[in-house]
Structure 1
Amino acid sequence: MTDESDEFETGASDAEETARPDADPRAAADEAAGDTEPVDPATDSETAGAEPRDDAGADADDAVPEDVQKYARFKKVDGAQYDRVNDFLRERTYVTAREWAIARLCADFRTETGVEMTKIGNNLPELVPFMTDTYTPQAVNQARSAFRDKVRKSGATFLYGAMSGFFTAEELDEMMYEVTEIAKFLLEVEGVDLSVEEELEAEERISSVMREVREASTELRQEELSDEE
């Protein structure tokens, strides 16, 4: 796999250096990357007006839920700034850094009765190294919904391209290899340790599905041409 980790370098970016001190860094980064979705800072009664937490104090440790303290995702980007991660994602995917991180958190903090959105929002800086502010439950839900919508639309776009005949089988294979490498890298950043066997199995499943898509679309186009004659 190509090493993409250098993209998550540390240090302040131009956007951070020129941003107003009172500006929301998430909004500035998303705006610079072309993300026009509203960013809702934490303003609800549970988080507004809260005293700043001293990370070195014993009270701070007691205030953070145990499962949050033990959360081990995203450790590979401990030193990365939000906009560095955001730029990386925007160059390779349709999702932003906040949508990616919150979608993962919603999957990990799902219970039998639903997603613990209040816990995610209140502890977002502790859970994800490159997130610096708390979120309201509404903002967490908004980011999760945006992630789902973008995955659905990008999936429809890709499948249309694969079924339309615009690409040869070889071109689709090359494309699948490239996007699979990016997806595996993102999983590794989240802390998923894929074995060689798991990688090969996943690649074979994807290739098998794509072969079926190509064969079905070819048959469909041939049937349509036959009907027109």
Structure 2
Amino acid sequence: MDEDGLDASRFAADDESPSRADTDPESDASADDADGDGPMPNVPDPDPQENDVPEDVQKYARFTKMNGAQYDRVNEFLRDRTYVTAREWAIARLCSDFRTETGVEMTKIGENLPELVPFMTDTYTPQAVNQARASFEEKVRKAGATFLYGAMCDFFTAEELDDVMYESTEVAKFLLEVEGVDLSVEEELEAEERISSVMREVREASEELREREDEE
């Protein structure tokens, strides 16, 4: 996908740019300070003899399209188009992928974060992983409420709402593609139809509410 600059290559580091590890080893966490999350504490370096990467971590290939990406560029892209940060996006995906019957493997995610996500350079504590996951969930809920209010308060026309949904869908599909999710045409159409169906219900509910107010 290359519409509106949605191309994973835009995140690649310039050849002459120093790596994040050479300039600021904690900058991928501190970059999110504007959201009030604060720097994420690092997990102490484990004993070299115990530094074996788990097999499922070695096989994890969700973000391979982001090899060579810089955290700051990924974060800037997300901030321009979503409420979440690059840290929250990556950790939310990892929490989904490393969920077990008894919970999420927070420790595994935190200790192996640089191996799992190319643009993350630091290890995180389980508490930091949980904080990022909770922040992601809270922002999604608030964004949903904001959008639905905007859709129901008669601020946007039906055509404008369609434009909003189209732009949102394109960004969401791009993020999924970057994660390595291959969406078929049928899956895309099905998702778009589900979204359109929900939007129709929202519009109908909004119209009914306004009609009731007029009657009163």
- Structure 1-normalised TM-score? 0.85
Give runs of aligned pairs for residues 214-229 of structure 1, distance below 5 A: 214-227=203-216
Give runs of aligned pairs for residues 198-209 of structure 1, distance below 5 A: 198-209=187-198
Give runs of aligned pairs for residues 1-229 of structure 1, distance below 5 A: 1=1, 2=3, 3-5=5-7, 6-11=9-14, 21=23, 24-31=26-33, 34-42=34-42, 47-51=43-47, 63-227=52-216
Per-residue deviation, 1:52: 6.5
Q: In structure 2, do the counterparts of structure 1 residues 191 and 131 end up closer, same or farther at CA, with 3 Å as the change threshold?
A: same
Give the AA of the match of 1:142.
Answer: Q
Give the AA of the match of 2:12.
Answer: E
The secondary structure found in structure 1 opposite 2:35 is coil
Give the AA of the match of 2:195.
Answer: I
Q: In structure 2, do the counterparts of structure 1 residues 179 and 39 end up closer, same or farther at CA, with 3 Å as the change threshold?
A: same
* Unaligned segments of structure 2, at least 5 residues: none
CA distance in 2, matches of 1:13, 1:206: 43
**Contact 1:164-1:217 at 8 Å conserved across structures:** yes
Per-residue deviation, 1:51: 4.9
The secondary structure found in structure 1 opposite 2:186 is helix
**Contact 2:89-2:136 at 8 Å conserved across structures:** yes
1:150-205 deviations in Å (ceiling 9; x for gaps): 00000000000001100000100111001000000000011100001110110011
Give the AA of the match of 1:78.
Answer: N
Q: In structure 2, do the counterparts of structure 1 residues 83 and 51 end up closer, same or farther at CA, with 3 Å as the change threshold?
A: farther
Superposed CA RMSD in Å reads 2.4
Q: In structure 2, do the counterparts of structure 1 residues 49 and 10 end up closer, same or farther at CA, with 3 Å as the change threshold?
A: closer
Structure (1 or 2) with the larger CA radius of gyration: 1
**Contact 1:39-1:139 at 8 Å conserved across structures:** no
Give the AA of the match of 2:208.
Answer: E
* Unaligned segments of structure 1, at least 5 residues: 54-58
- Structure 2-normalised TM-score? 0.90
CA distance in 1, matches of 2:18, 2:151: 38
